[in-house]
């Protein structure tokens, strides 16, 4: 089968490899120049660092890349909440040994490009921009960056892996009957950097995600292999005195940091230069139904971009690759059936993570400082200590490969007991106490009976 | 001010006239050929007949066109529900004398084109397709159908009036920060025709909207000046044995009509030819926020296409024209402020009618046959007979120019009393009786007291 993949990002590269391993001839088109040395430039309009979890690694393992990717990442065992300029609170993500893995997107993409280039059956073509797609005919038109030449290309299967602002999807979404929406957060992001030596001197943990939650503002710090901490400053884009639009001078910027991120300020030496230089990176949720037609389909952000608050964008994209690959393998030459199955299987879960990512957005920037939120987290850990299989929704999503929608369903029982405990001042007063343990055990005993008799 | 309007449909023509009347120089670009005689062809991918109400006429009046448009329309005083092959029930829309006006879209569009062409300051250019828009620069590129030539055009204000699948909007919606969605109904429409003599012989009222509600299927008939009844057959597009996709033979089509629309079947002589010839017309809701940027904005379906169930698409489009015109007039040369005000004023109401149109869709095709729905309508009429100012939501929207969102708010009190009556078997048993009158009067007396003391 001849396959065209448009976009050599994370999903495009992985999918190309998976298909080529099963004998397809895959041409991977990328509009940008080759980012790898000797001439490669960094820079992308997407998130800079990302955290991979088992969901993503399981998919990478299908292409034999688990260990290689692990090697370019660092473990993130928990969140270090910078509550104010003096105090921090550490919240482990999961059980001891469970960690996210923080990795630079650019480094990851280059690793995937190298791996794809080495895979028999995969051909990479850089500097080729898709400008047109005739969905009915399965015919693309590309424009070569080098000389502006345009040429047509057809294939048995065309996969749009060209991101949230996908050109391939544009051809699909302009067709009658395609329900589509794009929802932007009012916040955008800018990249900043805490160099390794500054982080070390300040004693910042290099195995934690650093968070400065300040309500409508937030600063995040992702650790790197080299010890740098890549920061994301998240502000409203406009319509606020603390928006990117409102901060126009060095003085205004420093004042913002002195007020809200005072402990981070001395750690970011290039703050002023980078703030005014770097672009605002938006966050958008993409929902598209259907996302296939004839021999054209979508994967990754092109199909299901999500807000980054739940850290699932890349993980979901990798997972999508394995699901589409499996649907194609199962259905042989019946492409229509394969793509129908792909959508039917995948969409409930991408819808679920899209909704969850939007809901979690507010929690991440606000509730983390809320004493009630912190108390709830302690209660959750107590429940887990007694019933280790009872994971929080975050843990189910981060540390298992349970499909997103199913994870949400499983969460209901867990939330019920935590809600009940939170509602009791008496129980909350002694989270480590015997009374709470009795309450928890009784709750699950009852729940088991109900489940058995249902 | 030099203005470009892209799209010479209903909204584009009216808006061009309103602006030219205040001294602007307006160029109205239309991709299709001139539809007016001698060479004009009918045919459009939009609804074929539409019903205008005061909301639309008030806007047309601003361009001095109320009487001209009235003259090409026929009054529609109520719905004639074809309950089954034998029985019909008539439901007046409003008070005696209140009527919708049914008009052919093609005839209306030609009237508006003639009026626009006669308006000093308006220039019409047919066969010119907008293929590109640089929003920042305010620069359009058009392609001439006659010879394929491309040329650029700039203006002080660029208005996209190019429909639900707007090219102008596409340039806006691909920008960061634009929240956009398109939602298609699973149903589509096909045009059929009951010729005037058939309608007369069958005794079909020519001052009613004829409705054959059959659950997942529906047939609608709109009266015309010449006595023809333009029918809309509404079926699911696919995924149903009674979908357009499933009806592939003359036999299958006739069987569908014999089963569901038996009394209409003998009245549509060209049924088979037209069914298999005519295209499926989809229904889509467009939500776009913002719909302006720099000197570019949108009106009509391009900004706020709605499902046709509430009959407000064209009416809302005409109303939008007057609102944008007023915002521009109020703000003189401050275009940014004018467009910001336009969006702020208009969007709550277009959101409201979009939601309402989607909700009403199901009611129109199903509940009309439901005895409880018919009873509710009788109760509503009884309430109105006692308190004429208490209109149903439909009446507020159809027979007043109350902004959509406000009409929905006013509806709450009316619904409360009708809900209360419907909940009482005793009251429902005698809708014309004295007990119900006492109940209604008491309800409004209490409501007045609550209102006064609030």
pLDDT in tens, A272-282: 999 999 999 99
List residues bridging with A182 in a β-sheet: A286, B180
Percent of chain A at pLDDT > 90 equals 78
What are the tens digits of pLDDT across the range A192-243? Answer: 999 999 999 999 999 999 999 998 999 999 999 999 999 999 999 999 999 9
Among chain A residues, the shortest Cα distance to B174 is held by: A165
Say if the Cβ atoms of B173 and A165 lie within 8 Å.
no
Asked if residue A289 has pLDDT above 70, the reply is yes
Name the burial class of residue A38, with classes exposed (0-12), middle (13-18) and buried (19+) by CB atoms within 10 angstroms of its CB: exposed
Q: What phi and psi values does residue B97 have, to the nearest 5 degrees? A: 95, -20
Helix (H) or strand (E) holding A91, with range, is strand A88-92
Query: How do A281-289 and A179-194 pair as beta strands?
Result: antiparallel
> Could you tell me if A40 lies within 8 Å of chain B, comparing CB atoms?
no
Tell me A368's DSSP state. G
> Could you tell me if B340 lies within 8 Å of chain A, comparing CB atoms?
no
Higher pLDDT: A446 or B241? It is B241
User: Which residue ranges make up each domain of chain A?
Assistant: 2-74+100-182+283-362, 183-282, 371-453
Share of chain A residues as helix, strand and coil, in percent rounded to the nearest 5 = 45, 25, 30
Residue with the two structure tokens 């129908």: A340
Alpha carbon A177 to chain centroid distance?
29
Q: How far apart are CA B262 and CA B259, in angstroms?
A: 6
Q: What is the pLDDT of residue B44?
A: 47
Query: What is the crossing angle of helices B404-422 and B371-386, to 10°?
Result: 110
Say if the Cβ atoms of A181 and B181 lie within 8 Å.
yes
Stretch A236-264: mean pLDDT: 95
Q: Kindly report whether the global pTM for this prediction surpasses the value 0.90.
A: no
- The mean of the pLDDT values for chain A is 92
Choosing among A132, A174, A179, which should be mutated to test the B contact, i.e. which has the most B CBs within 10 A?
A179
Of residues B180, B184, B280, nearest to A182 (C-beta): B180
Per-residue pLDDT band at A410 (split at 50, 70, 90): confident
> Could you tell me if A237 lies within 8 Å of chain B, comparing CB atoms?
yes
**Interchain CB contacts (distance < 8 Å): A and B:** 46
Q: How far apart are CA B93 and CA B71, in angstroms?
A: 21
Say if the Cβ atoms of A237 and B182 lie within 8 Å.
no
Closest CA to B337 of B378, B295, B303, B308: B295
Say if the Cβ atoms of A165 and B174 lie within 8 Å.
yes
Higher pLDDT: A451 or A311? It is A311
Q: What phi and psi values does residue B164 have, to the nearest 5 degrees? A: -60, -30
Q: What is the pLDDT of residue A44?
A: 47
What are the tens digits of pLDDT across the range A361-387? Answer: 877 776 566 788 788 888 988 998 898
User: Within 10 A of A136 (CB to CB), how many other CB atoms are there?
Assistant: 11
> Could you tell me if A166 lies within 8 Å of chain B, comparing CB atoms?
no
List residues bridging with B210 in a β-sheet: B80, B221
Q: Which long-range contacts (CB under 8 A, 24 or more apart) does A31-39 make?
A: A31/A7, A31/A127, A31/A128, A31/A129, A31/A130, A31/A145, A31/A162, A32/A126, A32/A127, A33/A126, A33/A127, A33/A145, A34/A113, A34/A124, A34/A126, A35/A106, A35/A109, A35/A110, A35/A113, A36/A110, A36/A113, A36/A114
Which pair of tokens denotes residue A163?
A: 């991101």
Closest CA to B232 of B244, B218, B213, B214: B218
- List the pLDDT tens digit at each of the 454 positions of chain B: 999 999 999 999 999 999 999 999 999 999 999 999 776 655 444 558 999 999 999 999 999 999 999 999 999 999 999 988 999 989 888 778 889 999 999 999 999 999 999 999 999 999 999 999 999 999 999 999 999 999 999 999 999 999 999 999 999 998 889 999 999 999 999 999 999 999 999 999 999 999 999 989 999 999 999 999 999 999 999 999 999 999 999 999 999 999 999 999 999 999 999 999 999 999 999 999 999 999 999 999 999 999 998 899 999 999 999 999 999 999 988 999 999 999 999 999 999 999 999 988 877 776 566 788 788 888 988 998 898 888 888 888 999 899 999 999 888 878 888 999 999 999 999 999 999 999 999 988 876 666 555 4
What are the tens digits of pLDDT across the range A95-129? Answer: 788 899 999 999 999 999 999 999 999 999 999 99
Helix (H) or strand (E) holding A212, with range, is strand A208-214
Higher pLDDT: B354 or A393? It is B354
Q: Are the beta carbons of B362 and B373 closer than 8 angstroms?
A: no
Helix (H) or strand (E) holding B59, with range, is helix B54-61
Name the burial class of residue A235, with classes exposed (0-12), middle (13-18) and buried (19+) by CB atoms within 10 angstroms of its CB: buried
Rg, chain A, Cα only: 23
Residues 6 or more apart whose CB falls under 8 angstroms from that of B419 comprise: none
Q: What is the pLDDT of residue B450?
A: 63
Which pair of tokens denotes residue A437?
A: 């343990």
Asked if residue A36 has pLDDT above 70, the reply is yes
Q: Which long-range contacts (CB under 8 A, 24 or more apart) does A240-249 make?
A: A240/A216, A242/A216, A242/A217, A244/A188, A244/A190, A244/A280, A247/A275
Sheet arrangement for strand B128-134 = B128-134, B139-144, B150-154
Per-residue pLDDT band at A417 (split at 50, 70, 90): confident
CB-CB neighbors (< 8 A) of B358 in chain A: none
Say if the Cβ atoms of A183 and B179 lie within 8 Å.
yes
CB-CB neighbors (< 8 A) of A280 in chain B: 176
> Could you tell me if B179 lies within 8 Å of chain A, comparing CB atoms?
yes
Asked if residue A85 has pLDDT above 50, the reply is yes
Query: Domain A2-74+100-182+283-362 is classified in which CATH homologous superfamily?
Result: FAD/NAD(P)-binding domain (3.50.50.60)
CB-CB neighbors (< 8 A) of A173 in chain B: 182
Alpha-carbon gap: B182 to the closest alpha carbon of chain A (Å): 5
CB-CB neighbors (< 8 A) of B235 in chain A: none
Closest CA to B187 of B370, B373, B367, B364: B364
């Amino acid at each position: 089968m001849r396959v065209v993949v448009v976009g050599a990002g994370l999903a495009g590269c992985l999918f190309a490899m998976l298909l080529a391993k099963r004998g397809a001839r895959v041409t991977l088109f990328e509009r940008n120049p080759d980012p790898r040395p000797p001439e490669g430039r960094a820079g992308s309009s997407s998130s800079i660092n990302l955290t991979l979890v088992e969901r993503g690694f399981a998919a990478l393992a299908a292409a034999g890349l688990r260990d290689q990717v692990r090697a370019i990442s660092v473990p993130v065992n928990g969140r270090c909440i910078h509550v104010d300029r003096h105090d921090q609170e550490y919240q482990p993500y999961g059980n001891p040994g469970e960690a996210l893995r923080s990795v630079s997107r650019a480094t990851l993409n280059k690793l995937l490009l190298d791996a794809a280039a080495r895979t028999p059956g995969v051909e990479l073509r850089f500097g080729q921009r898709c400008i047109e797609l005739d969905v009915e005919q399965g015919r693309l038109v590309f424009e070569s960056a080098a000389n502006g030449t345009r040429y047509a290309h057809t294939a048995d299967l065309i996969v749009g892996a060209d991101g949230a602002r996908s050109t391939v999807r544009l051809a699909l979404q302009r067709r009658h009957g395609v329900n589509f929406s794009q929802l932007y957060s009012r916040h955008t992001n800018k990249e900043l950097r805490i160099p390794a030596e500054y982080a070390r001197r300040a004693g910042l943990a290099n195995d934690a995600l650093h968070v400065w939650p300040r309500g409508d503002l937030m600063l995040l710090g992702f650790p790197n292999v080299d010890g740098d901490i890549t920061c994301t400053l998240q502000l409203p884009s406009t319509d606020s005195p603390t928006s990117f639009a409102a901060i126009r001078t060095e003085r205004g910027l420093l004042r913002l940091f002195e007020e809200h991120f005072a402990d981070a300020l001395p750690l970011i030496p290039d703050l002023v230069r980078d703030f005014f230089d770097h672009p605002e990176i938006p966050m958008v949720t993409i929902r598209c139904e259907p996302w296939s037609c004839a021999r054209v389909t979508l994967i990754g952000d092109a199909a299901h971009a999500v807000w980054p608050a739940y850290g699932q964008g890349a993980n979901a994209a990798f997972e999508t690759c394995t699901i589409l690959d499996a649907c194609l393998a199962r259905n042989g030459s019946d492409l229509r059936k394969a793509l129908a199955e792909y959508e039917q299987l995948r969409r409930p879960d991408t819808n679920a993570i899209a909704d969850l990512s939007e809901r979690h957005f507010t929690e991440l920037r606000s509730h983390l400082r809320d004493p009630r939120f912190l108390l709830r987290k302690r209660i959750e850990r107590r429940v887990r200590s007694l019933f280790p299989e009872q994971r929080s929704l975050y843990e189910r999503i981060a540390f298992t490969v349970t499909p997103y929608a199913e994870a949400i369903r499983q969460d209901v029982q867990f939330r019920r007991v935590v809600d009940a405990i939170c509602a009791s001042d008496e129980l909350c007063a002694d989270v480590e106490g015997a009374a709470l343990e009795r309450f928890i055990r009784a709750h699950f005993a009852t729940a088991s009976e109900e489940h058995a008799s249902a």
